[in-house]
Amino acid sequence: GAGVSQSPSNKVTEKGKDVELRCDPISGHTALYWYRQSLGQGLEFLIYFQGNSAPDKSGLPSDRFSAERTGGSVSTLTIQRTQQEDSAVYLCASSPHMTGTNQPQHFGDGTRLSIL
């Protein structure tokens, strides 16, 4: 597709269950970002992937959160043993990478996660 695709668009699950959120970046974009946007809050950086480099995981809030990026393309954000405070919109973005500069990030529409 032409843009960043995220699935599912909405996810409702019970507290304690594991969830997987998927992000398909724009073809050719080597940088991929995950953010979390809680109700009434700003965007919170979670994790950043760039090519084959080790990801920047400094924003992950706890060890229940993990993310993978397979083949330098699709990424999966996994939340284990979900808690009610994990309820938020999870946004993925991608950008091309040019040495020494950033390029604009292109965002998906997000996955709205609700923990009951």
Partner 1 sequence: KQEVTQIPAALSVPEGENLVLNCSFTDSAIYNLQWFRQDPGKGLTSLLLIQSSQREQTSGRLNASLDKSSGRSTLYIAASQPGDSATYLCAPSTGGFKTIFGAGTRLFVKA
Query: Which residues lie near partner 1 (CB under 8 A)?
Result: 4, 31, 33, 35, 41-45, 48, 50, 56, 58-59, 91, 93, 101-110
Residue 50 C-beta: closest distance to partner 1, Å: 7
Half-sphere exposure of 79 (CA within 13 A, CB side): 27
CA distance linking residue 103 with residue 86, whole number of Å = 29
Query: Is the Cβ of residue 64 or residue 112 nearer to partner 1 in the bound state?
Result: 112
Residue 41 C-beta: closest distance to partner 1, Å: 7
Query: Is the Cβ of residue 73 or residue 105 nearer to partner 1 in the bound state?
Result: 105
Q: What letter does residue 72 receive in the DSSP assignment?
A: G
CA distance linking residue 70 with residue 82, whole number of Å = 23
